[in-house]
Amino acid sequence: MSRLGRRLAFDYGDVRIGVAVCDLDGILSTPLDPLDSKNPAVMSEIERIYNEYEPVRIYIGLPLNLSGEPSESSAKALLFAEKIKARFACEVEMVDERLTTVSASALLTQAGVSAKNQRKLIDSVAAVAILESGLARERR
Protein backbone atom coordinates (compact mmCIF):
# COMPACT_ATOMS: atom_id res chain seq x y z
CA MET A 1 0.00 0.00 0.00
CA SER A 2 1.48 3.32 -1.00
CA ARG A 3 0.18 5.39 1.93
CA LEU A 4 -2.35 5.53 4.70
CA GLY A 5 -5.68 7.11 3.91
CA ARG A 6 -9.15 6.45 2.68
CA ARG A 7 -9.94 5.74 -0.94
CA LEU A 8 -13.23 6.30 -2.75
CA ALA A 9 -14.56 4.44 -5.75
CA PHE A 10 -17.28 5.38 -8.20
CA ASP A 11 -19.19 3.18 -10.61
CA TYR A 12 -20.56 5.76 -13.07
CA GLY A 13 -23.80 5.00 -14.86
CA ASP A 14 -26.43 6.93 -16.79
CA VAL A 15 -28.97 6.48 -13.97
CA ARG A 16 -26.94 5.96 -10.79
CA ILE A 17 -23.40 6.36 -9.54
CA GLY A 18 -22.30 3.64 -7.16
CA VAL A 19 -20.06 4.81 -4.33
CA ALA A 20 -17.73 2.94 -1.98
CA VAL A 21 -15.14 3.95 0.61
CA CYS A 22 -12.42 2.06 2.46
CA ASP A 23 -10.99 2.50 5.93
CA LEU A 24 -7.73 4.36 6.58
CA ASP A 25 -5.70 1.14 6.25
CA GLY A 26 -7.27 0.17 2.92
CA ILE A 27 -8.58 -3.11 4.30
CA LEU A 28 -12.36 -2.78 4.71
CA SER A 29 -14.42 -1.49 1.76
CA THR A 30 -17.97 -0.33 2.37
CA PRO A 31 -20.73 0.60 -0.08
CA LEU A 32 -22.36 4.00 0.37
CA ASP A 33 -25.75 5.11 -0.90
CA PRO A 34 -25.70 5.44 -4.70
CA LEU A 35 -26.14 8.88 -6.24
CA ASP A 36 -28.63 9.93 -8.90
CA SER A 37 -26.43 10.73 -11.90
CA LYS A 38 -29.24 12.80 -13.47
CA ASN A 39 -29.43 15.09 -10.45
CA PRO A 40 -28.03 18.53 -11.41
CA ALA A 41 -26.46 18.73 -7.93
CA VAL A 42 -24.64 15.38 -8.20
CA MET A 43 -21.20 17.03 -8.16
CA SER A 44 -22.17 18.82 -4.93
CA GLU A 45 -23.13 15.43 -3.48
CA ILE A 46 -19.75 14.03 -4.53
CA GLU A 47 -18.05 17.06 -2.97
CA ARG A 48 -19.90 16.38 0.30
CA ILE A 49 -18.66 12.77 0.24
CA TYR A 50 -15.14 13.90 -0.66
CA ASN A 51 -15.08 16.38 2.25
CA GLU A 52 -16.47 13.81 4.67
CA TYR A 53 -13.94 11.08 3.86
CA GLU A 54 -10.94 13.14 2.62
CA PRO A 55 -9.64 10.41 0.29
CA VAL A 56 -6.03 10.19 -0.84
CA ARG A 57 -7.11 8.47 -4.07
CA ILE A 58 -10.28 8.00 -6.10
CA TYR A 59 -10.91 5.00 -8.32
CA ILE A 60 -13.40 5.21 -11.15
CA GLY A 61 -14.64 2.16 -13.01
CA LEU A 62 -13.75 2.03 -16.70
CA PRO A 63 -16.32 -0.03 -18.59
CA LEU A 64 -14.50 -2.11 -21.20
CA ASN A 65 -16.01 -4.86 -23.30
CA LEU A 66 -14.94 -8.45 -22.66
CA SER A 67 -12.09 -8.19 -25.18
CA GLY A 68 -10.65 -5.22 -23.27
CA GLU A 69 -11.67 -2.59 -25.82
CA PRO A 70 -13.46 0.63 -24.80
CA SER A 71 -17.23 0.31 -24.72
CA GLU A 72 -19.90 2.91 -25.46
CA SER A 73 -19.91 3.80 -21.77
CA SER A 74 -16.13 4.29 -21.58
CA ALA A 75 -16.26 7.86 -22.90
CA LYS A 76 -18.87 8.81 -20.29
CA ALA A 77 -16.78 7.33 -17.47
CA LEU A 78 -13.67 9.13 -18.73
CA LEU A 79 -15.56 12.44 -18.90
CA PHE A 80 -16.80 11.85 -15.34
CA ALA A 81 -13.18 11.17 -14.28
CA GLU A 82 -12.04 14.44 -15.86
CA LYS A 83 -14.68 16.34 -13.86
CA ILE A 84 -13.48 14.63 -10.68
CA LYS A 85 -9.82 15.41 -11.46
CA ALA A 86 -10.62 19.07 -12.15
CA ARG A 87 -12.56 19.48 -8.92
CA PHE A 88 -10.61 17.55 -6.29
CA ALA A 89 -6.99 17.56 -5.17
CA CYS A 90 -6.21 13.86 -5.05
CA GLU A 91 -5.08 11.09 -7.36
CA VAL A 92 -7.74 9.71 -9.70
CA GLU A 93 -7.26 6.33 -11.37
CA MET A 94 -9.39 4.36 -13.78
CA VAL A 95 -9.97 0.69 -12.93
CA ASP A 96 -11.17 -1.98 -15.35
CA GLU A 97 -14.70 -2.74 -14.23
CA ARG A 98 -15.44 -5.71 -16.47
CA LEU A 99 -17.88 -8.07 -14.78
CA THR A 100 -18.15 -6.00 -11.57
CA THR A 101 -21.92 -5.62 -11.96
CA VAL A 102 -22.26 -9.33 -12.75
CA SER A 103 -20.24 -10.31 -9.68
CA ALA A 104 -22.14 -7.76 -7.54
CA SER A 105 -25.45 -9.26 -8.68
CA ALA A 106 -24.25 -12.78 -7.90
CA LEU A 107 -23.09 -11.67 -4.45
CA LEU A 108 -26.43 -10.01 -3.70
CA THR A 109 -28.37 -13.04 -4.97
CA GLN A 110 -26.23 -15.28 -2.77
CA ALA A 111 -27.04 -13.00 0.17
CA GLY A 112 -30.75 -13.50 -0.51
CA VAL A 113 -31.46 -10.01 -1.88
CA SER A 114 -34.39 -10.03 -4.31
CA ALA A 115 -33.91 -8.81 -7.89
CA LYS A 116 -36.19 -5.85 -7.12
CA ASN A 117 -34.07 -4.77 -4.14
CA GLN A 118 -30.81 -5.39 -6.00
CA ARG A 119 -31.48 -2.40 -8.28
CA LYS A 120 -30.86 0.11 -5.51
CA LEU A 121 -27.80 -1.71 -4.15
CA ILE A 122 -25.97 -3.09 -7.16
CA ASP A 123 -24.14 0.07 -8.24
CA SER A 124 -22.51 0.63 -4.87
CA VAL A 125 -21.67 -3.06 -4.49
CA ALA A 126 -20.01 -2.81 -7.93
CA ALA A 127 -18.14 0.27 -6.62
CA VAL A 128 -16.83 -1.92 -3.78
CA ALA A 129 -15.46 -4.35 -6.41
CA ILE A 130 -13.82 -1.43 -8.24
CA LEU A 131 -12.31 -0.22 -4.96
CA GLU A 132 -11.05 -3.71 -4.11
CA SER A 133 -9.39 -3.95 -7.55
CA GLY A 134 -7.70 -0.60 -7.05
CA LEU A 135 -6.48 -1.53 -3.59
CA ALA A 136 -5.14 -4.86 -4.88
CA ARG A 137 -3.24 -2.99 -7.58
CA GLU A 138 -1.69 -0.73 -4.91
CA ARG A 139 -0.48 -3.75 -2.95
CA ARG A 140 1.40 -5.22 -5.91
Evaluate whether residue 79 is within a structural domain: yes
Evaluate whether residue 29 is within a structural domain: yes
Does this model's pTM top 0.75? My answer is: yes
Q: 92 Cβ partners below 8 Å, 6+ apart?
A: 57, 58, 59, 60, 81, 84, 85
| CA dist., res. 29 & res. 23, Å (int) | 7
Evaluate whether residue 2 is within a structural domain: no
Q: Residue 39 has what pLDDT?
A: 97
Mean pLDDT for the chain overall: 90
Residue of higher predicted confidence among 95 and 119: 95
Evaluate whether residue 101 is within a structural domain: yes
Residue of higher predicted confidence among 114 and 2: 114
If you average pLDDT over residues 30-36, what whole number do you get?
96
Number of domains in the chain: 1
Q: 54 Cβ partners below 8 Å, 6+ apart?
A: 5, 6
Q: Residue 2 has what pLDDT?
A: 58
The most confident of the ranges 5-19, 55-69, 101-115 is 5-19
Domain interval for residue 128: 7-139
CATH number of the domain encompassing residue 122? 3.30.420.140
Q: What is the pLDDT of residues 3-25, one digit of tens each?
A: 789 999 999 999 999 999 999 99
Evaluate whether residue 116 is within a structural domain: yes
